[in-house]
Amino acid sequence: MTKIDLKNFSLNELEQFLSGKGKERFRATQIFKWMYQFGALSFDEMTNLSKDLRAELQATAYISSMDHSAVEVGTDGTRKYLFTLEDGDSVESVLIPDEGRNTLCISTQVGCAMKCEFCLTGTFKFRRNLSTAEIINQICAVKREFEVRNIVFMGMGEPLQNLDNVIRSIEIMLEGNGLHLSNRRITVSTCGLVPEMAELGSRVTCNLAVSLNATTDELRDRMMPINRKYPLEELLRGCREFPLPSRRKLTFEYVMIGGVNDSLEDAKRLLKLTSDIPNKVNLIPFNEHDGCEFRSPTREAVDAFHKYLIDRHVTVITRDSRGGDISAACGQLKGKLEKNSLLPVDQGDA
């Protein structure tokens, strides 16, 4: 009989699992606390459970964990973790330190099927969705060493293509007996799967970031094929309707590519498209990578774009390329996807 990984259960599902075995539901709360607050990896440690229950669990279930197989530390303190999965694939997570308010950027898929023209992950074939346990274990692993306060789903993959596992992982993050994070500190980033945005918002409360990246359908169709399915007007309607946590704004991510989408005309259109949505804009200067023709924007173009929006009372953050020296910056995560193209991790890999 194959054992069941308890890290794939929400608290609700664990309660059902236990009550199916004739156990009290509150045992689920105890087990959750052991797994997520004390980092227990075996049932032996769970001293408030009876010996019998522990033995029964031992026979039918297990608690998975992941250890990073490599970590690179950037000069700015950014840490890029490589996790090798059971089937040999791997994914990356990035810890961005900020005195007591560390942010962990996590992955949801091995590879990505969205094929955005500018993204490194998109140049590799989509392999598979991560399980709930594989999503949540990225956090559990880093939490053993560092406090993690904010979670951003901005690593490899398109979170809304793995909706059920992403939602279940968010439930575990929000659960008071689980990772006990605030819904104001969890942000899901999407390239714009409109129906799934609505479903996410109806099933769980968290922040949403939308990778806009272009202000005309013509350009966005080319840069992000998903736009041919859900063009700008539909996407922005989905944004308007998304139920954010109270007092929060939606984030528009805007990757600035030199000579492609970095003019003041683009800034002007961006303002017009988003002006009726409470939002902040994250400007991300494009990170160059091999095999991609696109170039980073000039400093002047970024500054002018930023100033145009600020002067019109938009909240703008230009993301410094954190983790740049270790290829941990946006869109540069790729795990160990192509065996032959992989350099040893300590030499950098992009």
Active site residues: 92, 330
Reduced to 3 states, what is the DSSP secondary structure of residue 180?
coil
Question: Considering the rule CB under 6 A, would residue 211 count as an interface residue with ligand SAH?
Answer: yes
DSSP bridge pairs for 281: 252, 316
* The one among 179, 255, 316, 337 contacting ligand SAH by CB under 6 A: 255
Q: How near is the Cβ of 154 to ligand SAH at its closest, in Å? A: 4
Instruction: Kindly tell me which of 36 and 286 has the beta carbon lying closer to ligand SAH.
Output: 286
CA–CA distance, 104 with 152 (Å, rounded to integer)? 6
Reduced to 3 states, what is the DSSP secondary structure of residue 336?
coil
Instruction: Kindly tell me which of 64 and 282 has the beta carbon lying closer to ligand SAH.
Output: 282
CA–CA distance, 245 with 242 (Å, rounded to integer)? 10
From residue 134 to residue 173, the character string flagging contacts with ligand SAH as x (rule: CB under 6 A) and all else as - is: --------------------x---x---------------
From residue 278 to residue 307, the character string flagging contacts with ligand SAH as x (rule: CB under 6 A) and all else as - is: ------x-xx-x------------------
Q: How many residues does the chain have?
A: 350
Instruction: Kindly tell me which of 25 and 295 has the beta carbon lying closer to ligand SAH.
Output: 295
Instruction: Kindly tell me which of 179 and 223 has the beta carbon lying closer to ligand SAH.
Output: 223
CA–CA distance, 189 with 199 (Å, rounded to integer)? 14
Q: Which two tokens stand for residue 314?
A: 């938009």
Instruction: Kindly tell me which of 10 and 211 has the beta carbon lying closer to ligand SAH.
Output: 211
- How is residue 205 annotated by DSSP? -
Question: Considering the rule CB under 6 A, would residue 129 count as an interface residue with ligand SAH?
Answer: no
Q: How far is CA 157 from the centre of its chain?
A: 8
The size of the interface with ligand SAH (CB under 6 A), counted in residues, is: 18
Q: How near is the Cβ of 209 to ligand SAH at its closest, in Å? A: 6
Q: How near is the Cβ of 188 to ligand SAH at its closest, in Å? A: 8
* Lateral strand order in the sheet of 186-190: 68-73, 79-84, 90-96, 103-105, 150-153, 186-190, 207-211, 250-256, 279-285, 315-318
Is residue 166 a contact partner of residue 159, using CB atoms and an 8 Å limit?
yes
Is residue 127 a contact partner of residue 337, using CB atoms and an 8 Å limit?
yes
Binding stretches for ligand SAH (CB under 6 A): 118-120, 154, 158, 189-191, 211, 213, 253, 255, 284, 286-287, 289, 330-331
